[in-house]
Amino acid sequence: MTLYSLRKTTTSHHRHVNNFVSPPIGNTVIVRQVAAPGRPTGDAPKLTLWLMSEQAMLPEEKSDLTPESMVKGMVKLVSLPHVCIRVNLMVDDPKYSATEIGEVISQDAALTARLLRVANSSFYGFQSKISTISRAVTVIGFRELRDLVVAVSAVRTFSNIPMDLENMAAFWRHSIFTGIVSRLLSKQCRILHSERLFVAGVLHDLGQLVIFHKVPDLANKTLKRIKLTGEETYIAERTIIGFDHAEIGAELVKSWHLPKSLEDTIRFHHTPELAVENPVDTAIVHIANIISDIAEEHENDRKRHYERIHPEAWRVTGLSENVIDSIICEAHPLLFEGLALIMPGD
């Protein structure tokens, strides 16, 4: 079962089933599932045996994995291209001009072509054609173009890594849709330079890919636990691994020397109430992530997801549940173009 389809199974499952976990008997954990009030008892299995080691249930007994050690082992494999690293440094140095940054980006022909496609897309809607990267830097903005360079480079980097994940297309579809929704929400919040929210949305779940590549056995145990208990992914990861994909993703972004705001947004996108330095950006990506899950549901099943959005996220953004349907309608037409623009390939 893929991460993307599992999200839908998870959220529907936990609303209707109460779980009672008995003490382990040997290597067997007995979980009794009883139908919730209002549901016929026949709708839920009476008894499920989950065969797994006690070690998998107790993170403190496992190896001394940390988010830092997980990322350290991936640094060479997922290091950003030299051009991306160079541009990231140049953008923060006022001595460099748009022409000089454009010349560096132009060293990577594939990246150049993709960025120009993005700049000339409906995402921006410029009336005149942008034919050079230096022009794109001037029109879109130094930091905004840097953010797009990071997003395109990161997706390209991870797409080249073998993953023990059945449906990578679904993973990227969710990620890019979250990026699109984040950008749309930021406009409703009247936030300038919204590209950073698009990038944060696209990259928010990168830690999951690190988990699947580095510890596929623990990833699979996590998926089994989610299917059984109905927990959200990050909660199950904390139980099985000892920390979650958001922490790993934040450490990865930190290792790439990307802005602290992006690191914080990824780290707290499941727990926006803990974000101190960048609460609005974090709240936007938190809301966008759940809206992306809502968008995959049948219309009649959508409202049960609303409770997953933390009240603090609504408070700091000044938004409400009323924006959800209109944002989904606005984002859907942009999804396929977003996939074509960001994903590797012709």
Residue ranges per structural domain of the chain: 65-78+161-342, 93-160
Average pLDDT over residues 58-75: 72
Q: Please name the amino acid found at residue 325.
A: D
Task: Taking the CA atoms of 67, 73, 74 and 76 in sequence, report the sign of the dihedral they define.
Answer: positive
CB atoms within 10 A of CB 69: 13
Q: What distances in angstroms separate CA 315 from CA 180, 185, 189, 325, one per listed residue?
A: 21, 14, 12, 19
Tokens coding 301: 């099943």
Per-residue model confidence (pLDDT) at position 42? 45
Which range is least confidently modeled, 42-46, 244-248, 264-268? 42-46
DSSP structural state of residue 304: G
pLDDT tens column, 116-159:
988 898 888 788 899 999 888 888 888 888 888 888 888 888 88
79, pLDDT greater than 90: no
CB atoms within 10 A of CB 56: 21
Round to whole Å and give the CA distance between 222 and 225. 5
| Superfamily per CATH, domain 65-78+161-342 | Hypothetical protein af1432 (1.10.3210.10)
Round to whole Å and give the CA distance between 123 and 148. 12
DSSP structural state of residue 80: P
Average pLDDT over residues 98-122: 89
Per-residue model confidence (pLDDT) at position 92? 86
Per-residue model confidence (pLDDT) at position 278? 94
Per-residue model confidence (pLDDT) at position 166? 56
Beta bridge partners of 315: none
Which range is least confidently modeled, 12-26, 119-133, 191-205? 12-26
